[in-house]
């Protein structure tokens, strides 16, 4: 007889402000731990951080479920704060049914249709930013781009859309631990949720947007009317903050790596690759969760049924076993085929082509119009639970002269 060795464990807290201020050094420690999956004492959850282990968990949806909830909260044991997402927080086969609807609503044809208006909007915002001189690029440029083009493409009316940012903070903050900051934020939960749900209704949406395309599947009998409403809610939940934060972090990368910016500026056609590399190097979605459906032997480590697993995709993006010189931001790198920043497997980001389109259009316009990006003050990271992203990026652009 022998008893299983105690699991490798760690006191690291991935949700603490210290960790969030610089996750890349603790990521290294987690990857280099003596086991492919590590027990985090503070939350009584597992964590994977090596590229290979992250892929193994994400590819194994039969044992690592999404129905336990997209965050730290365990829906098998506690009540969710909102109705679970019909795409993120369900397993196959239910997941395929809703996934197919969103895939069709976000088809390549539709992306091609919206590209021209995305380009016009990027051009206008970047021209305005250049004219302003010094500006805070996060509120004054970066937030405005997804917040304009994405809800427009969904078919929402134009109005003050700031409740979408408050809702996104609740959704992504809600994937982390309950902190005083989160409890304070959630005081607005009823009002903000009501605002969002009103805008997910069929009659609130234009007849020709992505939202209407989802409701067409209700008319066709593929989904219920109420399911269409919740799928639109998924778009409004996951579609704005993610790209804002990823574009903001990519802009900082380019500002801090002038030699990389010079390559992009001289080759605006490399915008998509630059954004792809930034999605590996430093982007908004650093982690996600799975929950075990049964007792699991994971590469020799014993996990119990209904335990949460933190999947550190941001750490996998820096794994030297996968990426040569992973801490170098290099826009020439070929990333797409091994990209982990949008997740992987059956649940990989359903709107990832929309995200790439936004990034490509934004940075191509920047490369065509801007000569130099000058940081004129400290970039500020948000340190509360939620997506990784900047709250402030003081910058000055100088216009290209040809
Ligand atoms: C959803 C949803 C919300 C947040 C993130 C996400 C990363 C999905 O409501 O479906 O995917």
| 168-212 pLDDT tens trace | 999 999 999 999 999 999 999 999 999 999 999 999 999 999 999
145 domain-assigned:
yes
Among 19, 20, 50, 45, residue whose Cα is nearest residue 34: 50
Ligand 1 pocket, mutate which of 66, 85, 174, 313 (most atoms under 8 A from CB): 85
222 domain-assigned:
yes
And the tokens for 187? 């005081």
Ligand 1 pocket, mutate which of 58, 66, 71, 87 (most atoms under 8 A from CB): 87
Residue 63 has what DSSP assignment? T
Residue nearest atom 5 in ligand 1 by C-alpha distance: 238
Q: For helices 352-369 and 241-256, give the axis angle rounded to 10 degrees.
A: 40
Look at residue 1 in the predicted model and tell me its pLDDT. Answer: 44
Find out whether 154 and 239 touch, Cβ atoms under 8 Å. yes
Task: Give the SS3 label for residue 372.
Answer: strand
Q: Kindly report the pTM of this predicted structure.
A: 0.98
**Ligand 1 lined by 87 (C-beta under 6 Å):** yes
Look at residue 207 in the predicted model and tell me its pLDDT. Answer: 98
Ligand 1 pocket, mutate which of 67, 70, 99, 288 (most atoms under 8 A from CB): 70
Task: Domain count for the chain, please give it.
Answer: 1
- By 3-state DSSP, what share of the chain in percent is helix, strand and coil, each rounded to 5? 50, 10, 40
And the tokens for 308? 């949460």
1 domain-assigned:
no
3 domain-assigned:
no
292 domain-assigned:
yes
Q: Can you tell me the mean pLDDT for 198-227? A: 98
* pLDDT exceeds 70 at position 154: yes
Alpha carbons 230 and 17: distance in angstroms, whole number: 32
19 domain-assigned:
yes
* pLDDT exceeds 90 at position 74: yes
2 domain-assigned:
no
Look at residue 6 in the predicted model and tell me its pLDDT. Answer: 84
How far from the centroid of its chain's Cα atoms is residue 136's Cα? 22
Residue 225 structural domain: 8-399
**Ligand 1 lined by 85 (C-beta under 6 Å):** yes
CA 303–ligand 1 middle distance (angstroms): 26
Query: Position of tokens 């949806």?
Result: 61
Alpha carbons 253 and 144: distance in angstroms, whole number: 19
| 236-282 pLDDT tens trace | 999 999 999 999 999 999 999 999 999 999 999 999 999 999 999 99
28 domain-assigned:
yes
φ, ψ of residue 118 in degrees (nearest 5): -60, -45
Query: Position of tokens 């290979």?
Result: 52
Instruction: Report the CATH number that the domain containing residue 184 is assigned in CATH.
Output: 1.10.630.10
| 97-115 pLDDT tens trace | 999 999 999 999 999 999 9
Residue 204 has what DSSP assignment? G
């Amino acid at each position: 007889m022998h008893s299983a060795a105690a699991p490798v464990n760690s006191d690291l807290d991935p949700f603490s402000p210290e960790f969030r201020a610089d996750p890349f050094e603790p990521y290294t420690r987690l990857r280099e731990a003596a086991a492919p999956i590590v027990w985090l004492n503070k939350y009584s959850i597992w964590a994977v951080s090596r590229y290979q282990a992250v892929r193994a968990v994400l590819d194994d949806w039969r044992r690592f479920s999404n129905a336990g909830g997209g965050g730290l909260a365990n829906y098998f044991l506690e009540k969710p704060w909102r109705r679970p997402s019909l795409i993120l927080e369900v397993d196959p086969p239910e997941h395929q049914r809703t996934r197919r609807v969103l895939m069709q609503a976000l088809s390549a044809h539709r992306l091609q249709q919206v590209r021209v208006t995305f380009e016009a909007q990027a051009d206008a915002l970047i021209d305005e930013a250049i004219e302003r001189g010094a500006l805070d690029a996060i509120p004054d440029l970066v937030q405005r781009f997804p917040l304009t083009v994405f809800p427009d493409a969904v078919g929402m009316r134009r109005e003050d859309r700031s409740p979408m940012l408050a809702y996104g903070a609740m959704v992504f903050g809600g994937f982390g631990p309950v902190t005083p900051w989160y409890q304070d934020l959630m005081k607005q939960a009823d009002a903000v949720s009501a605002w969002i749900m009103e805008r997910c209704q069929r009659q609130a949406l234009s007849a020709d947007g992505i939202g209407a395309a989802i409701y067409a599947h209700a008319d066709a009998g593929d989904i219920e009317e109420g399911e269409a409403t919740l799928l639109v809610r998924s778009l409004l939940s996951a579609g704005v903050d993610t790209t804002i934060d990823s574009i903001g972090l990519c802009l900082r990368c380019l500002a801090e790596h002038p030699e990389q910016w010079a390559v992009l500026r001289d080759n605006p056609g490399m915008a998509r690759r630059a954004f792809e590399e930034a999605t590996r190097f430093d982007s908004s979605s650093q982690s996600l969760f799975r929950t075990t459906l049964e007792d699991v032997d994971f590469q020799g480590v014993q996990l119990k049924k209904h335990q949460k697993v933190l999947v550190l995709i941001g750490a996998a993006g820096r794994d030297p076993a996968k990426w040569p010189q992973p801490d170098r931001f290099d826009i020439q790198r070929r990333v797409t085929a091994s990209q982990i920043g949008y997740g992987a497997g059956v649940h990989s980001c359903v709107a990832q082509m929309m995200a790439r389109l936004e990034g490509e259009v934004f940075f191509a316009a920047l490369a065509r119009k801007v000569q130099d990006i000058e940081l004129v003050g400290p970039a500020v990271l948000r340190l509360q639970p939620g997506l990784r992203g900047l709250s402030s990026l003081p910058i000055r652009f100088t216009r290209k002269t040809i």
